[in-house]
Structure 1
């Protein structure tokens, strides 16, 4: 199943502002941790540090067996929105 996960945090609370936060991000998105979680990170996009004074947004495209697997993977990050998606090419075939 394919999902899009959106994570939001205030710029002032960005994990990239501290060494501990940077270490958490490195560990969370390490190849070993991703493999152990049983997901495939298809793509990941962030608005930080571009957005210096507004909310930072993270968009993650993830292949996983179910939503629960993704929620468990993101553990320390507050996941605000998670949606199952399908490639538009598949949807277009049904039109």
Structure 2
């Protein structure tokens, strides 16, 4: 089995050979591993935070509307009197 040196490979062969290092974030050293960790944590938290936001909207207490029942009743009586002529 013949092994090629890194300098002898074309760009496509270099990309395929570096696939594992790119996948685990080791291609640029420790900083790319840290960046890959942060990106992975953000991606993993998106479904959880999305569910929590959705769930929070579902259980939110809706504010009660203020109705002045006496004023509404008297207004309806006045409209009823004008319509019915009583």
TM-score range, shorter chain: under 0.3
The answer to which structure, 1 or 2, has the higher relative contact order (CA under 8 A, 6+ apart) is 1
Higher helix share: 2
TM-score of the two chains, using structure 1 as the length reference: 0.20
Higher strand share: 1
TM-score of the two chains, using structure 2 as the length reference: 0.21
Larger radius of gyration: 2
